[in-house]
Structure 1
Amino acid sequence: MPPTHRRAPLLRFLSYVWPHRWLIAGASACGVLKFTLPLIFPLVLKYLTDVLLVPPAARSLHATEATNRWLDNWCAFVLARLPGVGSGAPGRLTVIGASVLLAYAVLGVASYYRSYWAGQAGHRLIFDLRYALYQHIQSMSHSFFDERRSGSIVARFVSDIQLAQNFVGSALTNVWMDGASLGFVVWILFVLEHRLALIALGVIPLYALLIRYFSPRIKAASQSVQEMIEDFSGDLHEKIAAAGAVKAFGREQHEAERFYRTSRGLLDLTMTNVQLSSASQAATTFLTLAAPLIVVWAAGTMILHGTMSVGTMIAFYAYLGSLYLPLQRFSELSVVVSNSLAAMERIFEFFDIHAEVAEAPGAPALARVSGRVEFRDVGFSYASRSNGRPALQRVSLNIAPGETVALVGRSGAGKSTLVSLLPRFYDVTEGAVLVDGIDVRALTLASLRGHIGIVPQDPVLFSGSLRENLLYAKPAATDAELAAAVRAANADGFIAELPEGLLTLIGERGVRLSGGQRQRIAIARAFLKDAPILVLDEATSALDSEAENLIHQALRRLMAGRTTLIIAHRLSTVINAGRIVVLEDGEVREVGPHAELLARGGLYRQLYLEQFRHLQQPPPS
């Protein structure tokens, strides 16, 4: 499955952000208000220091201070026009205090909506991206899942998408907030004292160098961590699913040691990422703390020479925090962005994989089916196998409606591969598979698979109730249809003994049911689906005789009137099949009924005698 469509991950990610642009815009606007409104306070502080709290006789005006005396005059102008405020200092001081208190209230409201809207946008984005990724993965062919561990797929949905969401919560909202704050601060610093402003801005290239140095390294480290989390998740999922086997073989200590090594590897990679992030933060923190010292030294020199007022220096120093903290946040934001970009690349790596099995444009739906199936010169190779040997070669087989055909052969002969081509779990490499004379590749997948019922060797049941698992085959089934399917599958007896009947919870993968009970639920599903074509992976070899008899009775009822393909593991179960197809190395070696194949003395007879000799019992006649 070669990846296609290589648009930049960030641009593709922003296409999912776009539907939530108004939430992000609102959060950004509130953020700008939250961080720019306090920038007025140093001007008020300058007015208090240089004008309101200083007697007129003590005020001095230096030539260089003329450029920012207008700030003091502007404050006085605004205060003089407020109703109920006189020209005295006490009244103006009261108004200033009340105004600052009101500004703090506005800041509180802005802070609430900034966090709320940014959080809402981020979580909606997670929902949209996860749903789109899930839909895409659902459309993938079986080979996609053959080549990947389930835990590694889950990691893309959890840790990767969460990291990508941080881009919205931090980068998209903070960049406007800090950008507006920086713009205003730089302007006001030049108004207050342009020489000091040039000194203060001299450290900006150093912040840029830090970002340039650390960002690619943090991104690479984050990618390594996410890949390790993927392996860790896959390994953990496997071990939990196989907990019974681990205990049966007494391998708890071995698996604990493996888990320790994997966890230790993840810890080491994570600490490398943490070390880089911490070094970046330490360097920017040093710049943020050290740069104001140079500015204070220069400002003190100006005050001593009488070229700057104390109020101007206080205001300038107050603005330095609003200059350097956004720069520090920009540097720290580069860490978040680097981690997010690494996660985005991993997410869209999955989106770039296209299904090998896809519907043709305008494909018609398969209507009524008689059940005729044909494999015409079929060849197939698994892309994931490096040996290059085809799994099937030149397989031709014509199955009449209602006929039962059994596929037999040694392990790896191609039995399961052949039947997996019928519902298009994979597409043929050569030849064609036809249903009622129509190439299955020309039909919609839903209609094709809707006409095929499958009873697997290991039934797939989901956590939930028996009823929910049965309805998986036909969600709109009535209670009467459910009851009929359960009876036909010989499952009514054990269901009646369950404490909650059909509402009984069966646990993950149906672990609270026996093997025979799970098989009968799978058969009941097939009865509910009522498909004209049936695929049976014969699964009674590991069951006790009573359960096996019940299942065989149910299967005989299920097969009646249906075209049936049986993957046979025990030859004794397919003696009565209409035809038996013997496969070896992906090729058809023999075809015929049981007695005829046995009389030929070929591969079928050899397999038959081997199996019964192994079982130390005489073969049935």
Structure 2
Amino acid sequence: MSDQTEQTRDEAKQAEAVSTEPRKRGPLFSEADRANLRWFWSRYLRHRAKWLVVILLMILVQGLVYQQFLSMTENGLRVIFESGAVRDLVVVCVVVFGLFVLRGLMSFLVPIVAIRVSNAAVHDMRSDMIDHLMSLDLAYFERTRSGQILQRLVAQTQAIGGFVGIQLANAVRDLVTVVIVSGYLIWKNPILFGTAVVVLPFIIWVMNYVSDRVKDTQGQAEQARGDYMNGIEETVSGMRTVKIASQEEVESGRLKAGTRHLRDLSAKLQRTQALVMPSIDLSSAFVYVLVIGGGGYMVLSPQFDVDGAGIITFLLGMVMVFDPARLLAQFFGQLQSQLVILDRIRGIYDETPSIHDAPGAVSEFDTAGDIELKNIRFSYSPDQPLFRGLDMTFEGGKMSAIVGATGSGKTTILSLLSRLYDVQGGQITIGGKPIRDLKVRALRESFSVVAQDIVIFNNSIWENIRYVKPEASEEEVWRAAEAAEIADLIRARGGAEVGPKGAQLSGGQKQRIAIARAFLRDAPILLLDEATSALDQATEERIKSALDRLTKGKTTIVVAHRLSSVAEADRIFVLEAGALVEDGRHEELLARDGLYARLYQAQKKGYDGR
């Protein structure tokens, strides 16, 4: 899509968002709606145009069947009222039956083909969304609630698919029926038809009135639904805390409040849409009165060449027009809801990754070289800077440790090294090569990470270890498991799943899976972020030799809260509020009697007091 179209769409959305004046009734399709529809057509439907043509041709056959039915009905009525020939009546009945068999066949084939097209479009849309989500920066997922992502990827794409498939095909069928039958009625009696369409402006007004309010309410409903799904996800994932704190009633009340809010919005939406059908029904009644009165006058008056068969057929034709017209009006009300959903889906593509391969980026670099942070500036928010010119050097092939109070920036440094975030000033180099000049994939493949935030999938322990290296052999996985002291647990559990997010495992077992992953990946640079924080001292001692083997010959950066675990590091960096206040070996830092010494003595006193 062109930049101009994107700009128009963005401006239209911003204008709606910032307006504080009472909303005025807008057009049926806003500029943003048209841009979204063009995007959906060009991306998911245009290359399936041949199937859409097939659907349209079958729908045209359905419309022509109705027109021929009216013609045969008029002929049949004249046979009854005038000629009285049974043979002619039989012929009319056989032809009418054949016409409806043909329409029935088309009614069977149209949804089959339409569903095939819509399912393919939904599949492609979800695939594109998954690819796009995977390309987004970590920052997007940290500021976006998982319920909103789930809603867009699952519920909203399915809603669009169902609408495009069956509902849109039915709407086109209804439109074709209205056009073909109306054309036939105009040809038969233009005066009577012109009298009947006097209510058309009123129907258009009702559609605009309803669509404007549906769009507002649907937007609120989609936001509320996302909040509701996120609330459920938070409650389920935090059920351990809920149970321990005996907060079942609080969580139940919170979710029930969300349920009531959704109910009220759904009721409001349905009440608004419900205005369409009675309005159309009253309009239809008015039209039928006009047709019966005006048609009856034409039959009785010698000035018009109209008979009873013609008027009955005309009334039947008006029924065939107004019934699909009612459905069309309902469709346009539902269309406004789908336009809101489409805008929500399209909104994901407004998010663009800022971390990507620079032009000319390379894959080869000295992974054993020093890692240097030069005059680094970074903040998560503009009003709260974290690093204001940080300088650090992690020597290649040695173990460096980063310690400090919570919030001092320890884990952030690891995120900057692996380009989960980009620095906002300064430069990070590995072996003298700026990491911005390296391909992101090559950079990240040079790291093995054992983090405090461990992602465990609902699979076996074996498969959770192999996740970081799917092509690994059984021997490699077993070797990593033995090194991380988790092989016995694998033998005990076999292929049993570990539950959502590893719910059936202890914190220590999860961390040993993470350590086993690091052994299996065997990357040249090792990042340990509170790698043993969930291990008791006995278990930590058991795997200490394994960690020593893991770190041997590798550039290792350890983030630790327990200072005793980094006492043997070649160099320790002490951070406070994003600033480097001390660095050196363990003994040197204790001798200086600075921040590190105070933290160490406080921890030692805490352990001795137990």
Per the normalisation by structure 2, the TM-score is 0.91
Give the distance between the partners of 1:137 and 1:173, measured in 2 at CA.
Answer: 31
Structure 2 residue 26 is the aligned partner of structure 1 residue 30: no
Give the distance between the partners of 1:465 and 1:288, measured in 2 at CA.
Answer: 64
Q: Matched residue of 1:540: which SS? A: coil
Structure 2 residue 400 is the aligned partner of structure 1 residue 400: no
Structure 2 counterpart of 1:464? 459
Give the distance between the partners of 1:55 and 1:278, measured in 2 at CA.
Answer: 45
C-alpha distance 379-582 of structure 1, shift in aligned 2 (>3 A)? same
Q: Deviations over 1:179-204 (max 9, x none)?
A: 33222222211222121010112222
Structure 1 counterpart of 2:338? 340
* Greater RCO, 1 or 2 (C-alpha within 8 Å, sep 6+): 1
Structure 2 residue 425 is the aligned partner of structure 1 residue 443: no
Give the distance between the partners of 2:117 and 2:310, measured in 1 at CA.
Answer: 41
Q: Is contact 2:448–2:526 with CA below 8 Å preserved after alignment?
A: yes
Q: Is contact 1:222–1:342 with CA below 8 Å preserved after alignment?
A: yes
**Alpha-carbon distance, 1:297 to partner:** 1.6
**Alpha-carbon distance, 1:326 to partner:** 2.9
Give the distance between the partners of 2:121 and 2:195, measured in 1 at CA.
Answer: 42
Q: Is contact 1:29–1:177 with CA below 8 Å preserved after alignment?
A: no
Q: Is contact 1:519–1:551 with CA below 8 Å preserved after alignment?
A: no
Structure 2 counterpart of 1:77? none
Structure 2 residue 411 is the aligned partner of structure 1 residue 416: yes
* Pairs within 5 Å for 1:186-265: 186-265=182-261
Structure 2 counterpart of 1:82? none
Structure 2 residue 47 is the aligned partner of structure 1 residue 19: yes
Q: Deviations over 1:33-73 (max 9, x none)?
A: 223312211211111222x23445xxxxxxxxxxxxxxxxx
Q: Matched residue of 1:361: which SS? A: coil
Q: Matched residue of 1:393: which SS? A: strand
Give the distance between the partners of 2:193 and 2:80, measured in 1 at CA.
Answer: 26
Structure 1 counterpart of 2:358? 360
Runs of at least 4 residues of structure 1 off by over 6 A? none
Q: Is contact 2:452–2:530 with CA below 8 Å preserved after alignment?
A: yes
Give the distance between the partners of 1:249 and 1:574, measured in 2 at CA.
Answer: 35
Give the distance between the partners of 1:10 and 1:167, measured in 2 at CA.
Answer: 13
Structure 2 counterpart of 1:486? 481
RMSD, aligned CA: 2.0
Give the distance between the partners of 1:25 and 1:520, measured in 2 at CA.
Answer: 58
Larger Rg: 1
| Of 180-189 and 254-263, the range deviating more from structure 2 | 180-189
Q: Is contact 1:516–1:548 with CA below 8 Å preserved after alignment?
A: no
**Alpha-carbon distance, 1:413 to partner:** 0.3
Give the distance between the partners of 1:244 and 1:209, measured in 2 at CA.
Answer: 54
Structure 2 residue 353 is the aligned partner of structure 1 residue 325: no
Q: Is contact 2:197–2:287 with CA below 8 Å preserved after alignment?
A: no
* Pairs within 5 Å for 1:26-425: 26-50=54-78, 52-55=79-82, 89-169=85-165, 172-306=168-302, 307=304, 308-366=306-364, 369-382=367-380, 385=381, 388-425=383-420
**Could you list the runs of 5+ residues in structure 1 that have no partner in the other structure?**
57-87
Q: Matched residue of 1:53: which SS? A: helix
**Alpha-carbon distance, 1:125 to partner:** 1.3
C-alpha distance 603-550 of structure 1, shift in aligned 2 (>3 A)? same
Q: Is contact 1:379–1:429 with CA below 8 Å preserved after alignment?
A: yes
Give the distance between the partners of 2:548 and 2:132, measured in 1 at CA.
Answer: 38
Q: Matched residue of 1:419: which SS? A: helix
C-alpha distance 181-612 of structure 1, shift in aligned 2 (>3 A)? same
Q: Matched residue of 1:582: which SS? A: strand
Q: Deviations over 1:18-39 (max 9, x none)?
A: 2332333322322232233122
C-alpha distance 145-55 of structure 1, shift in aligned 2 (>3 A)? closer
Structure 2 counterpart of 1:519? 511
**Alpha-carbon distance, 1:255 to partner:** 1.0
Give the distance between the partners of 2:187 and 2:487, measured in 1 at CA.
Answer: 87
Give the distance between the partners of 2:166 and 2:478, measured in 1 at CA.
Answer: 55
Give the distance between the partners of 2:81 and 2:308, measured in 1 at CA.
Answer: 11
**Could you list the runs of 5+ residues in structure 2 that have no partner in the other structure?**
10-34
**Alpha-carbon distance, 1:362 to partner:** 4.1
C-alpha distance 206-40 of structure 1, shift in aligned 2 (>3 A)? same
C-alpha distance 93-367 of structure 1, shift in aligned 2 (>3 A)? farther
**Alpha-carbon distance, 1:139 to partner:** 1.0
Q: Is contact 2:228–2:259 with CA below 8 Å preserved after alignment?
A: yes
Q: Matched residue of 1:357: which SS? A: coil
**Alpha-carbon distance, 1:522 to partner:** 1.0
Give the distance between the partners of 1:289 and 1:434, measured in 2 at CA.
Answer: 79
**1:226 alignment partner AA:** E
**1:11 alignment partner AA:** R
C-alpha distance 369-542 of structure 1, shift in aligned 2 (>3 A)? closer
**Alpha-carbon distance, 1:4 to partner:** 10
C-alpha distance 289-544 of structure 1, shift in aligned 2 (>3 A)? farther
C-alpha distance 4-601 of structure 1, shift in aligned 2 (>3 A)? farther
Q: Is contact 2:371–2:394 with CA below 8 Å preserved after alignment?
A: yes
Q: Percent same amino acid at aligned positions?
A: 31
Q: Deviations over 1:74-100 (max 9, x none)?
A: xxxxxxxxxxxxxx9333333332222
Give the distance between the partners of 1:406 and 1:289, measured in 2 at CA.
Answer: 83
Give the distance between the partners of 1:296 and 1:424, measured in 2 at CA.
Answer: 76
C-alpha distance 163-590 of structure 1, shift in aligned 2 (>3 A)? same
Q: Is contact 2:386–2:578 with CA below 8 Å preserved after alignment?
A: yes
**Alpha-carbon distance, 1:133 to partner:** 1.1
Give the distance between the partners of 1:136 and 1:121, measured in 2 at CA.
Answer: 22
Give the distance between the partners of 1:223 and 1:155, measured in 2 at CA.
Answer: 13
Q: 2:595 aligns with which of 603, 615, 619?
A: 603
**2:49 alignment partner AA:** R
Q: 1:586 aligns with which of 568, 578, 583?
A: 578
| Of 90-99 and 169-178, the range deviating more from structure 2 | 169-178
**Alpha-carbon distance, 1:404 to partner:** 0.6
| Of 400-409 and 505-514, the range deviating more from structure 2 | 505-514
Structure 1 counterpart of 2:523? 531
C-alpha distance 362-179 of structure 1, shift in aligned 2 (>3 A)? farther
Tell me the matched-pair count.
578
**Alpha-carbon distance, 1:589 to partner:** 0.6
Q: Is contact 1:455–1:523 with CA below 8 Å preserved after alignment?
A: yes
**1:212 alignment partner AA:** N
Q: Matched residue of 2:417: which SS? A: coil
Give the distance between the partners of 1:362 and 1:113, measured in 2 at CA.
Answer: 53
Give the distance between the partners of 2:503 and 2:167, measured in 1 at CA.
Answer: 46
C-alpha distance 599-221 of structure 1, shift in aligned 2 (>3 A)? same
**2:436 alignment partner AA:** R
**Alpha-carbon distance, 1:367 to partner:** 5.2
Give the distance between the partners of 2:171 and 2:436, measured in 1 at CA.
Answer: 50
Q: Deviations over 1:380-412 (max 9, x none)?
A: 111xx36x1212221111222211111000000
Q: Deviations over 1:417-470 (max 9, x none)?
A: 111101110000111111222221222211111111111113211112223212
Q: Is contact 1:359–1:445 with CA below 8 Å preserved after alignment?
A: yes
Give the distance between the partners of 1:491 and 1:368, measured in 2 at CA.
Answer: 33
**Alpha-carbon distance, 1:170 to partner:** 5.0
Q: Matched residue of 1:133: which SS? A: helix
Q: Matched residue of 2:275: which SS? A: helix
**1:392 alignment partner AA:** F
| Of 254-263 and 596-605, the range deviating more from structure 2 | 254-263
**Alpha-carbon distance, 1:207 to partner:** 1.4
Q: Matched residue of 2:385: which SS? A: coil
